[in-house]
Structure 1
Amino acid sequence: MAAPSESSEAMIFYDIAMATPYAPNPWKSRLALNFKDIKYSTTWVHLPDIAQVRRTLGVPACRKFSDGTDFYTLPILVDPNTKSRIGDSFDIAIYLQKTYPDSGAGDLFPPQKLEFAFNNEFASLVPLSERNDIEYVDYSKFNTYVDAAFTAHVSLVVHNLPFHPATAEATKAEFVRRAGVTSWDDFQIKGEQRQKFKESFHTMLGDLGKLFLRDISGPFLLGKKASYADLIVGGWLRMMREALPKQEWEEISGWHGGIYGRLHDGLEKYAEVK
């Protein structure tokens, strides 16, 4: 299918309403939409309302908690031009590539080896997607491992997440309930515990960073050409930049020769919030 014309109806992108956008999976999709130069607008949904919005749109939950109950989250993309509704960031990327293959900067999934794996030693605060893709398998596995790797270290940022003032208390209460802790302050980590997380994070980013050293001509895995693999990592870097203390973000973005600072900055051209 050809790229949308100027007269094409704008897509609707659903993201979580926060004081500033931070959620990594919506960021992956925003970066992909902008990479493809797709016309869209953002509908902001307060976190307590996400389940109802997904039900109203007829988009089922794509993840489950360990007890089998549905985990409702965003993003969702609605394309009125094809009457499609997609409720998972990786599925959104596939949809954009297959439906609008030549739009914007081109191919989101160019062939490349994405040899990275991660074994989690920390408990996960949120469930991860379980995928069994038959297309773009290397990218799917990479997405799963990167999600696991960053989620394992999300305790570094949870206490500083920029919740929307209108729903901050309700959102914090839901986080406390899901995690089975007694209060919001239980999410604050400092001292030796924080240092342990940072050391583990440094090691993980070093392992992941080896992929970025294969082509040093640019900030991306393929040098000067961005792909969805870069957007996967970039979505998580957006969260880290927004929720880490400024000094820690500056420290982390400079680790491993500044790989991640350059990647974050290199994706800035696809980071417009529309």
Structure 2
Amino acid sequence: MSSASPIVLHDIPTKDPQRCWSWNTWKTRFILNFKGLDYVTEWIEYPDIKPTFEKYFPDETEFTCPTIRLADGETYLMESSKIAARLEADYPTPAIHLDLKSPQFDQLIHNLRAAMIPLRPVYIYLVLTRLLSDKSTPFFSTRRAEEIGMSVEQYHQECDVEAAWEEAGKGFSGLTAMLKANGGPFLTGQTVGYDDFICAGVLLFFKTLGDDVFAKLVKVSGDGGEAIKDLLEAVEPWSKRNSY
């Protein structure tokens, strides 16, 4: 197949109007948009992921998005960090400054985990009830119930939501401190990189869950949301394309 074939990004859609929501697929979409690469989005619902991809990854047992097909029309890659490394190698300009072993990356992941883990009962429930289509909701509900040992609804009901947000604020305020450390809007100051895309993808995920959810994030961010809003505004040239 011709090397002129567009890259194919396999992404999980929301209900109509379909758009990107997952922080994991945002990582790849940001790179494609930032580098100005020729790509198309192929939406894939949760129950279709395994039957679609298992033939391309015969040694794998778990199948996820993002998955991309490269411009050669034959090579498939799964898992966001592997995709990032390959795209940076194949298309080095403009650079995303990929360094998954840097102190900054380690601190970013530490803060993201501190923010996300307490809120897992909240966002899993909201993904199920607000975002996913009717085709994906039964699969998502069943799989998450298997993982957590109870229904998604019970998981959410047993969560002290206000306490969860208060705990998550430790992580979000940590992100705010990182963004302010070098003057913003990006983590290193004026130069955008892959770490910023990871951070922005998480913020966009919460924004997609609803204005009420994002308002709570802003409240616990440590500075009234100034730094995270500055980041989202700065990455807007590469987040506008989220539906095709």
What TM-score do the two structures reach when normalised by structure 2?
A: 0.83
Is 23-32 or 162-171 further displaced after alignment? Answer: 162-171
2:217 matched to 1:252? yes
1:92 to 64, 68, 83: 83
1:164 to 127, 133, 145: 133
Residue 232 (structure 2) aligns with: 264
Specify whether residues 199 and 189 from structure 1 end up closer, same or farther in structure 2 by C-alpha distance, changes over 3 A only: farther
Distance 2:108 2:46 in 1: 23
Q: Deviations over 1:39-86 (max 9, x none)?
A: 10011111012122221222754xxxxxxxx44211111113384321
Quick one: percent identity of the two aligned structures? 18
Q: Deviations over 1:152-192 (max 9, x none)?
A: 133221111111122322322222222210x33113248x8
CA contact (8 A) 2:7 2:70 kept: yes
Structure 1 SS opposite 2:76: strand
Residue 63 (structure 2) aligns with: 72
Structure 2 SS opposite 1:108: coil
Specify whether residues 31 and 146 from structure 1 end up closer, same or farther in structure 2 by C-alpha distance, changes over 3 A only: farther
Distance 1:76 1:89 in 2: 8
Kindly provide the amino acid, as one letter, of the partner of residue 223 in structure 1: G
CA apart distance, 1:147: 5.4
What TM-score do the two structures reach when normalised by structure 1?
A: 0.74
The ranges of structure 1 where at least 4 consecutive aligned residues each deviate by more than 4 angstroms after the TM superposition are: none
Kindly provide the amino acid, as one letter, of the partner of residue 228 in structure 1: Y
Residue 147 (structure 2) aligns with: 178
CA contact (8 A) 2:8 2:69 kept: yes
Kindly provide the amino acid, as one letter, of the partner of residue 248 in structure 1: V
Structure 2 SS opposite 1:14: strand
Residue 39 (structure 1) aligns with: 38
For structure 2, the 5+ residue unaligned runs are none
Residue 101 (structure 2) aligns with: 137
Distance 1:213 1:10 in 2: 38
Specify whether residues 266 and 210 from structure 1 end up closer, same or farther in structure 2 by C-alpha distance, changes over 3 A only: same
Residue 164 (structure 2) aligns with: 197
For structure 1, the 5+ residue unaligned runs are 1-6, 62-69, 111-134
Specify whether residues 51 and 270 from structure 1 end up closer, same or farther in structure 2 by C-alpha distance, changes over 3 A only: same
Kindly provide the amino acid, as one letter, of the partner of residue 174 in structure 2: D
CA contact (8 A) 2:112 2:172 kept: no
Kindly provide the amino acid, as one letter, of the partner of residue 23 in structure 1: S
Distance 1:144 1:210 in 2: 14
Q: Deviations over 1:224-267 (max 9, x none)?
A: 32100000111111211112x42231242353222112222322
Residue 25 (structure 2) aligns with: 26
More helix by share: 2
Structure 2 SS opposite 1:12: strand
CA contact (8 A) 1:156 1:189 kept: no
Q: How many residues align?
A: 229
Distance 1:108 1:177 in 2: 37
Specify whether residues 169 and 232 from structure 1 end up closer, same or farther in structure 2 by C-alpha distance, changes over 3 A only: same
Distance 1:53 1:146 in 2: 34
Structure 2 SS opposite 1:26: helix
Structure 2 SS opposite 1:158: helix
Structure 1 vs Structure 2 CA RMSD = 2.5
Is 25-34 or 204-213 further displaced after alignment? Answer: 204-213
CA contact (8 A) 1:109 1:136 kept: no
Specify whether residues 260 and 157 from structure 1 end up closer, same or farther in structure 2 by C-alpha distance, changes over 3 A only: same
